A and B are shown apart, each in its own frame.
Chain A
Amino acid sequence: MRCLSLLLLLVAHINLSGQNRKPVVRPIVVNTCETVSNEAIQLIPYYLEVNNLDSAAYYTKIWEEKCGRNKFNERIKLLLSIEDDSFTQFMIDYSAYVFLLDDLADHQINQLIDTVYQNPNNFYNQYYNPADLILSFDEASRTFSKKLLQKLTNDGMSLCDLRYQLLTLYAGEVEAFQQSINSPQCSDGRLPQLINQLIDNIKSKKLVHVALSTGVWIPTGNVSVLGAHPSIGFLFGGGTEKYTFDLSAEFRFINSKNNYTTRYQGNLITTDYFFGGFAGLNVTRTMLSIGKSNLHVGIGAGIDGIDVVESDTDNDIDGKSILSFNANAGVGYRYINDKGSYSGIDVRYNFVQYDNYPGTSFSGNTISVRLTFGLIANDKRRRQLSDINRLFGNL
């Protein structure tokens, strides 16, 4: 009996001691985007490796729910949908497409850095954050994609199949991906269409430019008494790939080759003074583009003028100008340089009617030849096109 009492007391003591223990404080796990993405980026590679695809799908789903879509969870979602045959082309919407571009750019830069950088890991440690997790995630998804690509290719998957394009991209087989995208047989596929839409969007952005011009102004007919004159000017305008609208101004200088007469303040005077100009609007249409060269035709209209008497405000001398409407038409050539700007030549025939009566007749038309040098171009548009070309291999 004594032993039993002692045993009861001991049990009671143990129980009471247990109640006196401090409660275990368990941290409340809040599934924030940060915690979920940290877990997912570490666990998904493991689940892919051990082929526990249900768990990989589960983590991908909650990752997307907590953080929204990103290129990592999108990649796994697409790969798993290809694997369980639930993939449809409509899963590649605009966001998915943007993630694909990002993945492609990363593959390309990684391939390059692996080739030309002495210690690529040091570069990645600065380029990615956190580099080790992202690189092992990429490696796992790449290995999974390669296996899937191998399996589906053996099952007879077409080279134009969207699944093939996604798997080659995710497997890091960039050349195979580019070949499929650029193949004429695959041109009606979902990805080539999205790429073409993107290129069209970029190309539809307005071209804007400022250019300087220099050249020569050659009068014909009676107005040739003035002789040819050098010219300088500028153009400012914009437009599309096909049409360009420019405001242009041009100035011609150096005195006349011959003396001529003109009426000034009621008297006929003889002078060789000359200063000319044009200001107006030009419209050009590109007719032929070969590589970086293009040929265009253009028309224009504006005000043309010749100063025949120089004004001198100090001596109260008013100048005299002869103005004329100018309608012109011509052809031109432009070479677009790597910076997206251009050099070119334009030849225009100008229909003018200078009225110098009763002085020397200025009847006749003129020809202007000008070299143009683009100064400012829409560099963002050029940069975007160049990026697209680099990503998809010179479309």
Chain B
Amino acid sequence: MTNSIKKTVFFFFIVLLFSQCGIFGSRKTISSKASRPVKKVALLLVAENDPFLQNSSDAYRTIFIKSLAESFVSQKEFDFMIMDKEYVIPENDDMEKSLIGVEMKDYDAYILCYHKMQSGYNHKVWFEVFETNPVKHLITTSHSTRLGNSYFMPPGPYETLMDATKGAFDILMNNWHKISS
């Protein structure tokens, strides 16, 4: 039986390999705790930092806004407003991200919302949360459907965008108590 068992174990690991584990899809980085209660939050969309991609992403933008609205309306921790202006910020430009805090002084915090298409119609969505006045990074959460979701049938890009948004939102809200004062 040993050989057949070994074959079965091999098959088992192949299944494991292809089944993708949800735990790999979500990430969080907590930097600091808010210095005052966060009750009013602005959601800012950040466009791809690629001029050729910006014009083609209108459809994804509306789906992303819809997903953000549907996700964030389900929480009771803070009021939020999705801002109309779309920002183009290089991913590692912390100075640029902090400067936005000056525009957002009417809010307790602002969340930079990114989405990026990955291979095979997958999406990655990540949120960077900053406190305003003084500007301070609080938390970054992300979710990628490539590693974080298992689909029975190949999903469309809109489905993965919605799932990625919900995944990043879930991990943000699960950790909200750690950053809110």
Chain A positions within 8 Å of B, measured between CB atoms, are 109, 112-113, 115-119, 122-123, 126-127, 208, 210, 212, 232-234, 236, 249, 251, 275, 277, 279, 305, 307, 310-311, 319, 321, 323, 338-339, 341, 375-380, 383
Contacts and interface: CB of A to CB of B under 8 A. Distances in A.
Interface string B1-31: 1110100110010011001111000000000
A123 B72 CA distance: 17
Nearest to B61: A126
Contact of A379 (B66, B72, B73, B151): B151
Given A279-B8, A307-B5, A321-B1, 8 more contacts: A116-B81, A123-B62, A212-B16, A232-B12, A251-B5, A310-B2, A341-B22, A341-B150
26 contacts: A109-B66, A113-B65, A113-B69, A115-B73, A116-B73, A116-B80, A117-B81, A118-B81, A119-B84, A122-B84, A123-B62, A127-B62, A208-B152, A210-B15, A233-B12, A234-B12, A234-B15, A249-B12, A279-B8, A307-B1, A307-B5, A341-B150, A375-B20, A377-B152, A379-B153, A380-B153
A119 B62 CA distance: 13
B155 interface: yes
Nearest to B3: A311
A118 B19 contact: no
B167 to A, nearest CB: 9
Nearest to B80: A116
A116 B8 contact: no
Interface in B153-181: 153, 155, 159, 170
Interface string B89-110: 0000000000000000000000
B22 A339 contact: yes
Nearest to B167: A339
Nearest to B155: A379
A383 B9 CA distance: 33
A126 B62 contact: yes
Contacts of B3: 311, 319
B86 to A, nearest CB: 10
Contacts of A232: 12
Contacts of A117: 65, 69, 81-82, 84
A357 to B, nearest CB: 18
Contacts of B62: 123, 126-127
Contacts of A305: 1, 5
A112 B73 CA distance: 8
Interface of B: 1-3, 5, 8-9, 12, 15-16, 19-22, 58, 61-62, 65-66, 69-70, 72-73, 80-84, 149-153, 155, 159, 170
Contacts of A112: 69-70, 73
Contacts of B159: 383
A249 B152 CA distance: 21
A251 B83 CA distance: 54
A323 to B, nearest CB: 7
Query: Ordered nearest first, which 10 A-B pairs have the shortest CB separation?
Result: A321-B1, A119-B84, A375-B19, A376-B150, A118-B84, A319-B2, A311-B2, A378-B152, A305-B1, A127-B62
A113 B70 CA distance: 9
A321 B21 contact: no
Contacts of A123: 62, 65, 84
B152 A379 contact: yes
A127 B61 CA distance: 9
A378 B150 CA distance: 9
B78 to A, nearest CB: 12
A76 to B, nearest CB: 26
A251 B2 CA distance: 11
Contact of A116 (B21, B58, B61, B72): B72
B82 A118 contact: yes
B123 to A, nearest CB: 15
A160 to B, nearest CB: 30
A145 to B, nearest CB: 24
Nearest to B63: A127
Contacts of B82: 116-118
A210 B72 CA distance: 31
A319 B1 contact: yes
B150 to A, nearest CB: 4
B117 to A, nearest CB: 18
Contacts of B66: 109, 113, 127
A249 B83 contact: no
Contacts of A122: 84
Contacts of B149: 339, 379
Contacts of B1: 277, 305, 307, 319, 321, 323
